[in-house]
Structures are given as C-alpha cells and as structure tokens.
C-alpha cells in the first residue's frame, strides 16, 4: 500500500518498468499478405483459355470491382512474372429455368492477362 500517492518517484519507476517489458517486433511480409485473394478469384478453365496459354495469355476470374492495374500488380506479385497487358471481359447474368423455377446465373468478370516474352505461369499449364 502506498503511503503517498502523489510521490513522483514511484510513477517514474512504473513507467521505466513498462518500457523495458515491451519487445520490438520485426516486420515480415507473407505471400498471403499480398491480398491477391481479394482481386483474383480463380483461374478460368475452358477450351479457349487453355489454347490461349500457348500464346502466353492467361485467363482469371476476378472480382467485380477489380481494375486492370490491380490485377496486373497481384499477378506479378503472386506468380513472379511481368505483365504486358490486361484485357477485361464482363459476362452478364443469364436466366435459367429448372422445371417450373426461374433464376439467374451469376455475372462473371474475366481478365485476360498477357505476359511479357520469356515468362510463364506453370500452374496454369497443368
């Protein structure tokens, strides 16, 4: 129990103890920290997309709010390649009827990423 709560020496000692106990943190950058999952949804798999891989073009599904520059940055960071150009294709939602029920398919936004010569994405070629 303190006898004098206004004594300055006790406050200084408590402040010194608090400063000593805080360790310094080193900043590390992780691959999952790049935020690519917020822009790139998945690799788009179709016959045409597989033919485009032969001419160094890769097709990705992307989020609806993704821009060309964001897509280029995330592909470069995630796959360690250099992007030459990005083209965007928006596929509209379509009406579907199953029995007596009507509904819609989801709209899809695709990005066709053209890489510079000498670069390739090995995960897409498999």
SS3 22: coil
pTM score, whole prediction: 0.68
Instruction: In whole angstroms, give the CA distance from residue 3 to residue 57.
Output: 77
Q: What average pLDDT values come out for the chain (126 residues) when binned by 10 residues? A: 66 56 45 72 92 94 94 93 96 95 95 95 81
pLDDT of residue 117: 94
CATH domain 32-125 topology: Alpha-Beta Plaits (3.30.70)
CB-CB neighbours of 2 under 10 Å? 7
């Amino acid at each position: 129990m303190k006898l004098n709560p206004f004594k300055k020496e006790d406050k200084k000692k408590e402040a010194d103890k608090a400063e000593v106990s805080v360790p310094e943190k080193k900043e590390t950058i992780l691959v999952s920290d790049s935020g690519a999952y917020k822009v790139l949804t998945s690799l788009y798999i179709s016959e045409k997309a597989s033919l485009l891989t032969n001419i160094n073009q890769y097709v990705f599904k992307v989020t609806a709010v993704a821009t060309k520059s964001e897509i280029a940055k995330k592909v470069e960071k995630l796959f360690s390649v250099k992007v030459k150009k990005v083209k965007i294709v928006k596929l509209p939602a379509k009406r579907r009827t199953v029995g007596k029920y009507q509904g819609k398919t989801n709209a899809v936004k695709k990005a066709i990423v053209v890489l510079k010569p000498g670069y390739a994405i090995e995960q897409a070629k498999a």
